Amino acid sequence: MDKWGCITGGFIMVLIPILFLSFHISMKEEEQELDSFTFKKSESPNLINIIEFREMTYTEDPYTVLYSMRIYYGKRGSILKKYKEFKPGNSPIDINDDFKIHWENDELVTIDAIRKNEKGESYLVETFKIDLSQ
């Protein structure tokens, strides 16, 4: 092999792993939503606002599928863009919890996450509020 062939071959051997690593790193940093489905809805007392509980399926890299739960909220009949997200490991809330929804008025909602223990007894996991006026 001549001198230029060795240099070109060496350059390619170094360039391919660098390109692969940069592609892999860029894929890992970007979260991509794959699917979602709404499993619970609630409308405010005067039917002005709505909240929707959705299970989200997403990926952070080509090899892993992850799940989270989002509570989307906004004006009834509009495309809901605002949400509060609960990811496993970052929150005690789980999609399998029972959610009790209490509208205090058309803009403030309190949500209780209820779970059952091994004996079938219900207990409160967490209570949180969403203010739809903000």
Q: What is the largest CA-CA distance in the chain?
A: 82
This prediction has a pTM of 0.73
CB atoms within 10 A of CB 63: 8
Q: Is the model's pLDDT at 2 over the cut of 80?
A: no
**Under 8 Å between Cβ of 59 and 31:** yes
**pLDDT, tens only, 50-109:** 999 999 998 888 888 888 999 999 999 999 999 999 988 778 888 889 999 999 999 999
Q: What is each CA distance from 71 to 54, 85, 92, in whole angstroms?
A: 6, 6, 15
The answer, yes or no, to whether residue 24 has pLDDT greater than 70, is no
